[in-house]
A and B are shown apart, each in its own frame.
Chain A
Amino acid sequence: MDQRQREQYLREYGIQKSKGKPFFPYAILKDGTMACITLAVIILLAVILGAEIGPKADPTTTSYDPRPEWYFFFLFELLRVIKPPAIVFIATIGIPTVCMVLLILLPFIDRNPERHPARRPVATFTGITVIALMTYLTVSGALAGPPGTISLKTPPQYQAGKLVAAESGCQGCHKIGENGNPGPGPNLTHIGARLPRNAIARTLVNPTAPMPSFSALKRQNPKKFNQLVDFLAQLK
């Protein structure tokens, strides 16, 4: 906006303001009503859905479900879309940081003096696209199944390891046979063919981000850890 447009805006805004009503009591009445509605919604949610708490955190047990609060699902989904470890940081840090910088700089990027959504089609279209994308990512993140069972056929000597894998929430990020989510982590159905046993153990202890390390399990329950590695190594 140049000087003339700025002055014109201030002039028009002055007229609109002089025609308006005082904040007290008109606007504050609406604000107060809205505050009451907000409080009512919060209390209703608290009463109906409650605030349950899961089992106590235990770094050594392996039954967990590493899921964030629902409004972070879109970030979590981004990890599923961008998989190669070399560029994972683009999904984890890159895209969110770039989005936030763009958001902060928005008033300097969009210099169109128009304000009506219909008269700035690029901005409106971009806004709707971003909302649609975030909604899509959030919904697909919400629908991604929680880790559970592994229906793969396994020789009896690896049954114990299969149980550990099913409990460990691997399938939150990996696909094993028919079960699990296809990302952010690689498919584990044939992991034994791609990695030797030692490499699998090493990866479990010292994984690439954002996978949590299983070093606590190895230290405190080496038997369980070895069963898990055996199970993974025989997936060919």
Chain B
Amino acid sequence: MTPPLPRALRPKPPRPGSKPGRNGASANGATGGGDPKALKKARKQAQREAMKQQALEVPIAMLGWLDERTGSTPFLRAFLFRKTPQGTNWYYTLGSATMFAFVNQAVTGVVLAMYYNPSTTQAYGSVRHIINDVFLGELVRGMHKWGSTVMVVLVFLHMGRTFFFGAYKYPRELNWIIGVVLLILTMAMSFTGYLLPFDQRAFWATVVGVNINASGPILGPYLADFLRGGAEFGTTTLSRFYAIHMLVIPGLIAALIGAHLYLVAKLGTSAPPWLKAEKARELAEEEI
């Protein structure tokens, strides 16, 4: 037994006055003329319609199968066909662009991880290998390196938009907080990733960075020891940074992006503030 179809996918009943032929009913329309050519054409068209219907059955049946087992159709429909408020403009694409930059980092990062070797003796050589020998390796590494810059810029632009549009106010306070945590995690991503190529600049900048952490009161020295994996910079430091960079923080970021998006879908994106101001003025004029 086939499951009931979601309403959006059910075949629509023919509209009154509409031409027959859409639902395979073209046969009677063709009987009027005795022209064999027209008859042939009509038959061919009917055949094509029937095949189209059959082809449509496949995705409908698949979607129905999925829906029966997951109940995801109402959720997907609510997500895709939810309304965005009037005045939604290009500024509202900054968030999704940030997420896209993160996806770019994830994909290029996976490719780099296939060749990278996080040990103090091998790391530099494996990065050289990626740049010089691996097919398109330099491009992928460049996309990862510059993708981080683009992502940070987009994060700040997205935050600026949210700030100046007052979009962090009721009822979206929690989403702002999640966003700030995502900003901190993005910066932590950049900090841990900077060491991985293990060239001079990466090494010494990270030494200074960890020393900066160590200067913090009370917890600072412990945090620095944790990052280094001991009192001195060594192989543990590199593998530790690598694990944090490619396992811990990306997992956190992905989970928090999920929460961020859930809240966006649930609460809706904010409308541009000037629309409200205009409306208020209109109302005030009416009242006068």
Contacts and interface: CB of A to CB of B under 8 A. Distances in A.
18 contacts: A17-B268, A20-B88, A22-B84, A26-B88, A27-B88, A28-B80, A34-B97, A35-B96, A53-B127, A56-B124, A58-B200, A66-B208, A71-B149, A92-B215, A107-B177, A108-B173, A209-B215, A212-B208
A215 B85 CA distance: 62
B18 interface: no
Interface of A is mostly: helix
A64 B203 contact: yes
Contact of A93 (B143, B168, B169, B220): B220
The interface size bin for chain A is 35 or more
Contacts of B94: 34
B271 A16 contact: yes
B69 to A, nearest CB: 23
B177 A104 contact: yes
Contact of A20 (B83, B273, B279): B83
A59 B206 CA distance: 12
A110 B176 CA distance: 13
B249 interface: no
Given A18-B83, A23-B80, A70 B101 contact: no
Contacts of A38: 97, 100-101, 104, 150, 154
A23 B166 contact: no
Given A23-B82, A23-B83, A63 B200 contact: yes
Given A34-B90, A92-B216, A47 B168 contact: no
B141 interface: yes
B118 interface: no
Given A107-B173, A115-B169, A49 B205 contact: no
B84 A23 contact: yes
B87 interface: yes
B275 interface: yes
B55 interface: no
A59 B233 contact: yes
B92 A30 contact: yes
Contacts of A47: 139, 142
Interface stretch (A5-13, A158-166, A192-200): A5-13
A119 B100 CA distance: 33
Interface in A163-209: 169, 209
B149 A93 contact: no
B87 A16 contact: yes
Nearest to B100: A35
B14 to A, nearest CB: 26
B160 A131 contact: yes
Contacts of A50: 138, 142
Interface of A: 1, 6, 9-10, 12-13, 16-24, 26-28, 30-31, 33-35, 37-39, 41-43, 45-47, 49-51, 53-59, 61, 63-72, 79, 88-89, 92-93, 100, 103-104, 106-108, 110, 113-117, 119-120, 123-124, 127, 131, 169, 209-212
Contacts of A51: 131, 138, 141-142, 144-146
A158 to B, nearest CB: 25
A57 B167 CA distance: 45
Contacts, number: 258
Contacts of B79: 23
Contact of A66 (B183, B190, B204): B204
B43 interface: no
A66 to B, nearest CB: 4
Contact of B276 (A53, A79, A116, A169): A116
Interface in B190-216: 190-191, 194, 197-205, 207-209, 211-216
Interface in B117-158: 120, 124, 127-128, 131, 138-139, 141-150, 152-154
Contacts of A26: 84, 88
A66 B207 contact: yes
A136 to B, nearest CB: 15
Contacts of B87: 16, 20
Contact of B150 (A45, A103, A169): A45
Nearest to B269: A27
Contact of B168 (A21, A79, A107, A211): A107
A167 to B, nearest CB: 11
Contacts of B138: 50-51
B176 to A, nearest CB: 5
Contact of B209 (A28, A49, A68): A68
B190 A71 contact: yes
Contacts of A124: 164
Contact of A57 (B85, B164, B200): B200
A53 B273 contact: no
Given A20-B83, A27-B84, A57-B200, A34 B166 contact: no
B115 interface: no
A153 to B, nearest CB: 29
